[in-house]
Amino acid sequence: MIPKGKFRCSNSNIKCYVHVYIHVQWATLRMERGAKEKNQHLYKPYSNGIIAKEPVSLEQEIHEMRRGGAEPEFDMSDIFYFCRRGVESIVDDEVTKRFTAEELESWNLLTRSNYNFHHISTRLTALWGVGVLIRYGFLLPLRVTLAFTGVGLLVVLTSVVGLFPNGRMKNYLSDKVHLMCYRICVRSLTAIITYHDSENKPKNGGICVANHTSPIDVIILASDGCYAMVGQVHGGLMGVIQRAMVKACPHIWFERSEVKDRHLVAKRLSDHVADTSKLPILIFPEGTCINNTSVMMFKKGSFEIGSTVYPVAIKYDPRFGEAFWNSSKFGMVNYLLHMMSSWAIVCSVWYLPPMSRMEGEDAVQFANRVKAAIARKGGLADLLWDGGLKRGKVKEVFKEEQQKLYSKVLVGSSEDRSPS
């Protein structure tokens, strides 16, 4: 069921995808019946993890293990706690599984959508085959045509708008061109987007921050409002698009050598938000794509500027198509092919009330408060882990933090036994 709210698509599109979902439910029931007939068990993904874990602190668990006995500074039984937690982390790693596509309980007639995809019946296979013909024979060519049209118009029209002198007319034309082209690109994905609480949409002089699932997050948001983009300068087709866009609107592009200069980045962002005539900046503080189930650590850089922050929560419905980009497994072209050959991209966007840094609150605390609000609104898990673990190793600071927690347990035990 598509949630209520402001969305852009025709009624015929909605009816089409509702009928598709009816087939999804039928396919799932047929798979379950076929499994029963063959005396098999269907794979059921665990939404809450493989291992049931209680939200208990390290100190509480250590004291629970020592119950009924003395509390020395160090007890050999403490080793079992760390061994158990280590095995649990290997078996049910809450970080690594955020970088793989979300597994569905129901099969949506897409090849990658369920581990139970195998031959169940001739009728179900024929239905999947018809779906392949429709998606690749009709929808894919149409969507590719729309995508090239949208990108081509964006390059040409922004270059033309760039010839106008700076002023209200140029800003007006730039906004109209960007919105039109982004909406054409959204239609190339057959995206059904529901926008909630539009009164909280980002305003000039502010920073819009959102959770990050896919590169298309940009056009999902930009099709409902204009933003100043932030990113690294690219070559090739992407470079052509960037150079054309910056002629019509003051986007912020960094050279490769400038990206690592935090002070330069902060200054460029601060100068932009200080001018209330410029569009709000769109930033994804996670720095990488997460699989639509959680929000991971926000980088503090965009929260140090001192500007008003406009949080946005984006949640995709994976029943009609998987929006998550696993960049370590799929290249951009392969990913776009999967997107454009799916049934549709259905998502909800929530504009949250603007947030400002409170007195005595540092950038990290502010970033965590914004992240928690986005996770709560989008129904996502709020994780403290850095998304950089997708390609890197755990930082030493995390290991040291666990060591400090355990040392506090030992120091507390010693203080409890010391005479007053």
**Is there a domain that residue 89 lies in?**
no
Indicate if the pLDDT at residue 214 is higher than 60: yes
Q: What is the dihedral of CA 256, 261, 266, 272, to 10 degrees?
A: -30
111 or 345: which leads in pLDDT: 345
pLDDT at residue 286 greater than cutoff 50? yes
Token couple for 409: 């347990």
Q: Is residue 66 part of a domain?
A: no
Most confidently predicted of 182-191, 260-269, 388-397:
182-191
In a domain, 86, yes or no: no
- Per mean pLDDT, which range of 285-289, 347-351, 366-370 is the poorest? 285-289
Assign 233 to helix, strand or coil: coil
Residue 389's pLDDT is: 66
By residue range, what is the domain housing residue 369? 125-389
Residue 275 reports pLDDT greater than 90? no
CA–CA separation, 203 and 178 (whole Å): 17
Q: Average pLDDT for residues 357-386, to the nearest whole number?
A: 88
Assess whether pLDDT exceeds 50 at residue 394: yes
Q: How confident is the model at residue 15 (pLDDT cuts 50, 70, 90)?
A: very low
Q: Does the pLDDT at position 412 exceed 70?
A: no
H-type helices in 11-108, by residue range?
11-37, 58-65, 78-91
Per-residue pLDDT tens over the stretch 166-178: 888 998 999 999 9
Contact by Cβ (8 Å): 204, 358: no
Whether the pLDDT of residue 39 is over 90: the answer is no
How far is it, in rounded angstroms, from Cα 185 to Cα 148? 8
Q: Is the pLDDT of residue 2 over 50?
A: no
Stretch 376-403: mean pLDDT, rounded?
76
Is 243 a domain residue? yes
Runs of H (alpha helix) within 117-235: 122-132, 140-161, 168-187, 217-222
pLDDT at 1: 42
The pLDDT of residue 43 is 43
* Alpha helices (runs of H) in 223-286, residue ranges in sequence order: 236-248, 262-274
User: How far apart (Å, rounded) are the C-alpha atoms in residues 330 and 338?
Assistant: 10
Most confident of the ranges 45-54, 236-245, 256-265, 395-404: 236-245
Mean pLDDT of the chain: 76
Q: Is the pLDDT of residue 375 over 50?
A: yes
Q: Is the pLDDT of residue 35 over 60?
A: no
DSSP 359: T
Half-sphere exposure of 13 (CA within 13 A, CB side): 17
Buried b / exposed e along 295-317 (16+ C-beta atoms within 10 A): bbbbbebbbbbebbbbbbbbbbb
Contact call for residues 307 and 387 (beta carbons, < 8 A): no
For residues 247 and 65, the model is more confident at 247
- The number of folded domains in the chain is 1
- Over residues 349-366, the mean pLDDT reads 90
With 0-12 / 13-18 / 19 or more C-beta atoms within 10 angstroms meaning exposed / middle / buried, residue 359 is exposed
CB 109 within 8 A of CB 127: yes
Cβ-based burial of 162 (10 A; exposed 0-12, middle 13-18, buried ≥19): middle
Strands 6-7 and 191-196: antiparallel
- pLDDT higher at 239 or 200: 200
Helix (H, G, I), strand (E, B) or coil at 282: strand
Radius of gyration of the chain (CA): 25
Compute the distance between CA of residue 72 and CA of residue 62 in angstroms, rounded to an integer.
12
User: What pLDDT is recorded for position 101?
Assistant: 67
> Is residue 310 pLDDT above 90, yes or no?
yes
What single letter denotes the amino acid at residue 54? E
Range 221-238 average pLDDT: 85
98 belongs to a structural domain: no
- % of the chain surpassing 90 pLDDT: 21
Asked if residue 297 belongs to a domain, the reply is: yes
SS3 assignment, position 209: strand
In this prediction, residue 209 carries a pLDDT of 93
pLDDT class of 11 with cuts at 50, 70, 90: very low
| Span 80-139, pLDDT tens digits | 677 777 776 666 666 776 767 666 656 666 665 544 555 566 777 787 788 888 888 888
Helix (H), strand (E) at residue 49: none
Q: What are the φ/ψ torsions at residue 266 (nearest 5 degrees)?
A: -60, -40
pLDDT (0 to 100) of residue 53: 57
Measured CA to CA, the distance from residue 123 to residue 237 in angstroms comes to 44
Written as one letter, the residue type at 266 is: A
Q: What is the mean pLDDT of residues 156-184?
A: 91
7 lies in some domain: no
Can you read off the two tokens belonging to residue 172? Answer: 């007006």
Asked if residue 22 is part of any domain, the answer here is no
Q: Is the pLDDT of residue 14 over 50?
A: no
Minimum mean pLDDT range among 40-44, 183-187, 205-209, 346-350: 40-44
Please tell me the distance from the alpha carbon of residue 273 to that of residue 150, in angstroms, as a whole number: 28
